[in-house]
Structure 1
Amino acid sequence: MRCLSSSRVFLCSTLLSLAVGSAVDVNMLVILPKENSYLFSITRVRPAIDYAIQNLVQSPFNFSVKYVDSECGNMALFHLVDICLVQKPDVIVGPVCDYASAPVARLASYWKIPMVSAGALASGFAHKKPEYSHLTRVSPAYSKMGEMFLAMFRRYRWKRVALVFEDDLQERNCYFTVGGVDHAFKQDDIPIYSTVISEDMDEVEIGHKVEELKENVRIVIMCASSQNIRKVMLEAHRQGMTKGDYVFFNIELFNSSTFGNGSWKQGDAFDSVAKQAYRSLQTVTLLRTAKQKFYKFAADMKNRSRQQLNYKDDNVNMFVEGFHDAVLLYTKALQEVLNQGYSKTDGERIVHQMWNTTFEGIAGQVSIDANGDRYGDYSVIGMTDPEAGTHEVIADYYGMNGSFEVRPSVRRLWASGVPPSDESCCGFPKDHASTCKSCGIGESAVTGIVVGSLLGCALLLAFYLFRKKYRITIERRVQLLEADTECPGKMNTLQSSGFGLSCFNLKTT
C-alpha cells in the first residue's frame, strides 16, 4: 500500500499499522563501549536513545534495542557478526571510534543495513562508495571543521599555518581532527607545518616546539588537552608571541568539559601570566543553539544517569546529542519509506531518505548533505575582557552556506585590535624564499631610520659649510673690487708684495 501525499503521514501510518498489526517492530543494534572513560559509553548514551524513543509522537514503531560492547576495536565487528548469524538488525547505531566503525560500516554496506552514527568522524569515511555506502553521520566530521578554518583563512587572506596536536596512538582523536583540517587546506595549497606534543614533555621540550613555531608561522591551530594548551601558551608568552602578531586556535573536541575546561585559571603561580597569554588564544567549538527543549533534555539526562544507572555526570556532550538525533533521523526516514509502500528491509532506500535532508534536532536544526554527512556549525570563543579574563563567542560559522560571520556586538576580536599577518616582516628564518614586507617597525626599520638620520645630518652640515665658504669668498671678491677702484696703484704694489693690508691702512700711514 502506497501513500504519496506527505500531508497524510499520520493517516498512512495508522493504515499501515492496522495492516501489519498494532506496531511495526524495529530491531536496533547499538554498538558502543561499556568503559565509562569514553564520552560515548553505553552508560552516557543510553538515556538519550531511550528519551528519543519515548518522545516519538504518534509513532507506529515498536523498538527493540540491544546494546553490545564495541571496546572501541575489533569486538564491534565480532558482535555484529554473531548477532547477524541469528537475525540481522534493521538499523545499526554506532560505533564511534574510527577503528571500530570502519569494519562495521563495510559489513553494514554489504548487507544493506542502515548505519547511523555520531562518530566515524575521520575524513576517510566521506568516501562512501563502495565501502561506506550505508553510513550516515549525524555529528560533523573533522573535515567539516577543516572547512570552517578554510573559510576563516580565506576571509583574512592567511596562506600558511601550523598544526600542533597530541597523538595517543589509540583512538587518535586529535590526529584525525588535524587530518580533517589538513584535508581542507589542501584545496587552497596552503603550506602546513606540523608538530606533535605529548603530556610527558617538560618545559624545555615545549620551549623548543614553540621556538620552531615562531620560526615558521604566525597562525597556529592546536588540538591537545587543556594542560598542554596552557603549557604552549605560557611558553609562547615567554617568547613574546602573545602581543597580537601571532594567533593560536584551540580545537575543543566534542563540546565536553570532561576533555578539559580550557581555562587559563588553574589556581597556581602562573595564573596571571596565563591570563595575559590567553589574549591570543581562540577556541573553536560546535555551535549550540540555546532552546528550552534542550535544557529540558539536559536535565532529564542528568536525572536518568543518576537514578537509573547510578552514574553521576552533569555533562551533555555532542555524542549524547548526536545519538538522540540519530534515532529521530532514522525514524523519520523509515516513516517516509513505509509511507511510500516499501519495507523496513529496504535499507538502501532508507539510507538515501536520510541524506540531503533537514530536521529539528534536540539542540537545533540538523542538516545532512547529499553525501550523508552532517553540515558543521561552529563558534569561535575569544577573550573579550583582558582585565577580567572572560571569554565569549566572537564569531560563528554556518556549514550549510559556508559563511563565517563575526558577531557585531564583539568589543575585542584580536589581541592587537587588527587581524595578524601570516608573514614575518622579512620572512621566516627557515624560509629563504620569503621577501621583506612592510608590517611594522622592526629591527631593520629602526636601523634604516638611524642610518638615514645620520646621512641627513651629514648632508646638512656639508651644505652649511659649503654655503659659509662660498659667502666668505664672495665677500672677499667684493672687497678686492672696491679696493681696486679707490687705490689702484697702491693695490697693485701691495698685491705684488704679498701683504694683506687694506686701502684704509695705506691712507693712515
Structure 2
Amino acid sequence: MERLVRMCATSGGCETSLFCINSMFWSVVFIILYSTSTVLSQEQEQLRLGVMLPEYQPGMRHWPYFTQMVQPGIDIALGKVQETILPKHNVSYLALDTRCSNQMSMILSVHMKYKYECDVFLGPACEYAVAPTARFCDYWDVPLITAGALAQGFSKDYFNTITRMQGSYDKFAYSLVEFFERQNWNTTILLVDEPIDGEIKDCFFCMGGVSWTFHEHEIAHEVEGFDQLTEDSTKQLLEKVEPVARIVVMCASDDAIRKIMLAAHDLGMTNGEYAFINIKLFDSNYFGNNKLVWHREGDTAEENERAKQAFRALMTFTLRKPNTPAYAKFAEDVKERARRDYNFDFDAVNETIQNTTDLPRRP
C-alpha cells in the first residue's frame, strides 16, 4: 500500500479537503479500490466501474461535477493503473447521466448492477441522488465511492459501503466553531440561500451542518433563509440581523453575496461593528463566479468601488488553492482532454478538482 501511495503522490498527489469533488480523486479511487476492495482478486480479469454523474447540456444549472469534467480524470487514472498495477486486467467503466435526480439515480443504479454488472459505483455526487444508490449498495454489499454525501444522515449506521473522499459539512462546521472560539464569539446569525425549486440545495445542507454543530457547542444563533434577492428584500433581510448579532455567516452565490454586502454598506454595517463571513463552496470562473467577487463588468466604476469598500468587511472561507507545478500540469491535462475527447471547455478547473492533487507523502 505504501508503494501505491507514493506512486500517486509522484503523479500529482491528493489532499482531502472539505469540499473536494474532483477528477484527480478518481486516481485515488483506483488505488484504494485495488488495495482494499473485496470485489477484486488477482484471479479476476474484469473490473467494471459505474460512473453516475450529471451530464452537461447547454443552458443547464451549474454543478461542480459534470461527467465531462470528471471523465478526463478517470481516463488518466485508467491509463496509469493499467500501465502499472493492473496490466493484465480489463478495467472499464460506464458513465450514465443521473441529472442529479433521485428518481433517475434509482433507475440507473439497478441498470448498472444487473445489466452492466458493476463491481463498484463512482458517484452519484448530488446529495439527493446519492441517497437511494447508497442504500442499494448497502443491500448489495457493493462499494460506493463519492465526493458527495456531505449532508447529515450519511452515517455508517445506514450506509455501510459508502466511502466519502472528503469531510462532511459537519466537519467544515467544526472549523467554524474553532474560529469562533479563537475570536471569543458566541452569537451569530446564519443567512442561507434556499432556492424554492429544484433538488440541489448545497448551501441549505451546508448550513444545516453548521447550525447543528453550533447548537452542540452552545453558540447562540438564528437562521434566516432567502431566495431571489431584490434590493428591498436584501435590506429587509439585513434589518433582521441588527437586533440578533454582530457576526453574520452567509452561504449563497456570488451575486447574492454582492447584493448583501452593498446593502450592508448602505446601512452602515461595514464600518467595523459587524463581521461578515462568506462560505464559498465552489470557486470557479466557469460557474459564473468571479475572481474579484465585488467587481462587475457591467457596473460603473463608482458602483464597483462602492462594492470594493463593502467587501473589506467580508471574510471568505473557501478551498485552498494548490500552486504546485504538479497541479498546474494536471489542470492543463484535464482541460486539454476535456476539449479533445469530450468537446467540453472550461476556463478554470474548479477548485473542487484542484484540492485533491496534493497527496501527503508517506516517509
TM-score > 0.5, shorter chain as reference = yes
Partner of 1:281: 314
Which of 28, 31, 34 is residue 52 of structure 2 equivalent to?
31
Distance in 2 (CA, whole Å) between partners of 1:202 and 1:20 is 61
Q: Normalising by structure 1, what TM-score?
A: 0.58
Whether the 8 Å contact between 1:219 and 1:248 is mirrored in structure 2 is: yes
Which of 62, 67, 80 is residue 55 of structure 1 equivalent to?
80
Structure 1 residue 365: Cα displacement: 3.4
Distance in 2 (CA, whole Å) between partners of 1:236 and 1:120 is 34
Change (3 A) 1:93 1:238: same
Structure 1 residue 39: Cα displacement: 2.3
Partner of 1:156: 183
Distance in 1 (CA, whole Å) between partners of 2:2 and 2:277 is 45
Code of the residue aligned with 2:214 in structure 1: it is F
Distance in 2 (CA, whole Å) between partners of 1:158 and 1:112 is 45
Code of the residue aligned with 2:271 in structure 1: it is K
Distance in 1 (CA, whole Å) between partners of 2:169 and 2:125 is 13
Distance in 2 (CA, whole Å) between partners of 1:279 and 1:311 is 36
Whether the 8 Å contact between 1:119 and 1:319 is mirrored in structure 2 is: no
Change (3 A) 1:124 1:116: same
SS at the partner of 1:240?
coil
Partner of 1:121: 150
Whether the 8 Å contact between 1:288 and 1:364 is mirrored in structure 2 is: no
Query: Equivalent pairs: percent with the same residue?
Result: 33
TM-superposition CA deviations, 1:140-162 (whole Å, max 9, x none): 32222211101101111111111
Aligned residue pairs total 315
Distance in 1 (CA, whole Å) between partners of 2:150 and 2:329 is 28
Distance in 2 (CA, whole Å) between partners of 1:154 and 1:26 is 48
Distance in 1 (CA, whole Å) between partners of 2:352 and 2:107 is 23
SS at the partner of 1:213?
coil
Q: Please give the residue correspondences for 1:449-460 in structure 2 after superposition, counting only pairs within 5 Å.
A: none
Partner of 1:493: none
Structure 1 residue 87: Cα displacement: 5.0
Partner of 1:146: 173
Q: Please give the residue correspondences for 1:30-429 in structure 2 after superposition, counting only pairs within 5 Å.
A: 30-36=51-57, 37=60, 38-56=63-81, 58-60=84-86, 61-73=89-101, 74-86=103-115, 88-125=117-154, 127-129=155-157, 131-169=158-196, 170=198, 171-199=200-228, 201-257=229-285, 258-261=287-290, 263-267=293-297, 268-269=299-300, 270-320=303-353, 361-365=356-360
Change (3 A) 1:320 1:230: same
Change (3 A) 1:52 1:106: same
SS at the partner of 1:214?
coil
Change (3 A) 1:139 1:316: farther
Q: Compare relative contact order (CA 8 Å, sep 6+) and give the higher one, 1 or 2.
A: 2
Code of the residue aligned with 2:85 in structure 1: it is S
TM-superposition CA deviations, 1:128-181 (whole Å, max 9, x none): 21x211111113322222111011011111111111111124201110111121
Change (3 A) 1:99 1:160: same
Code of the residue aligned with 1:70 in structure 2: it is T
Whether the 8 Å contact between 1:162 and 1:221 is mirrored in structure 2 is: yes
Whether the 8 Å contact between 2:327 and 2:354 is mirrored in structure 1 is: no
TM-superposition CA deviations, 1:310-346 (whole Å, max 9, x none): 1111222255457xxxxxxxxxxxxxxxxxxxxxxxx
Distance in 2 (CA, whole Å) between partners of 1:319 and 1:31 is 17
The alignment's C-alpha RMSD in Å is 2.6
Whether the 8 Å contact between 2:322 and 2:354 is mirrored in structure 1 is: no
Distance in 2 (CA, whole Å) between partners of 1:157 and 1:187 is 16
Distance in 2 (CA, whole Å) between partners of 1:7 and 1:291 is 22
TM-superposition CA deviations, 1:448-473 (whole Å, max 9, x none): xxxxxxxxxxxxxxxxxxxxxxxxxx
Q: Normalising by structure 2, what TM-score?
A: 0.80
Distance in 1 (CA, whole Å) between partners of 2:4 and 2:232 is 68
Code of the residue aligned with 2:74 in structure 1: it is I
Whether the 8 Å contact between 1:47 and 1:305 is mirrored in structure 2 is: yes
TM-superposition CA deviations, 1:383-438 (whole Å, max 9, x none): xxxxxxxxxxxxxxxxxxxxxxxxxxxxxxxxxxxxxxxxxxxxxxxxxxxxxxxx
Whether the 8 Å contact between 1:225 and 1:259 is mirrored in structure 2 is: no
Structure 1 residue 256: Cα displacement: 2.5
Instruction: Return the index of the structure with the highest Cα Rg.
Output: 1
Distance in 1 (CA, whole Å) between partners of 2:331 and 2:139 is 37
Structure 1 residue 363: Cα displacement: 3.4
Code of the residue aligned with 1:46 in structure 2: it is Q
TM-superposition CA deviations, 1:210-254 (whole Å, max 9, x none): 111122111111111111111111111111111112111111112
Distance in 1 (CA, whole Å) between partners of 2:280 and 2:247 is 17
Distance in 2 (CA, whole Å) between partners of 1:179 and 1:7 is 40
Partner of 1:474: none
Whether the 8 Å contact between 1:289 and 1:364 is mirrored in structure 2 is: no
Distance in 2 (CA, whole Å) between partners of 1:176 and 1:250 is 15
Structure 1 residue 98: Cα displacement: 0.9
| Greater Cα shift, 247-256 or 105-114 | 247-256
Distance in 1 (CA, whole Å) between partners of 2:194 and 2:279 is 14
Structure 1 residue 364: Cα displacement: 3.9
Distance in 2 (CA, whole Å) between partners of 1:83 and 1:204 is 49
Distance in 1 (CA, whole Å) between partners of 2:204 and 2:294 is 24
Distance in 2 (CA, whole Å) between partners of 1:160 and 1:119 is 30
Structure 2 residue runs without a partner (length 5+): 8-34, 36-40
Change (3 A) 1:240 1:364: farther
Structure 1 residue 25: Cα displacement: 2.1
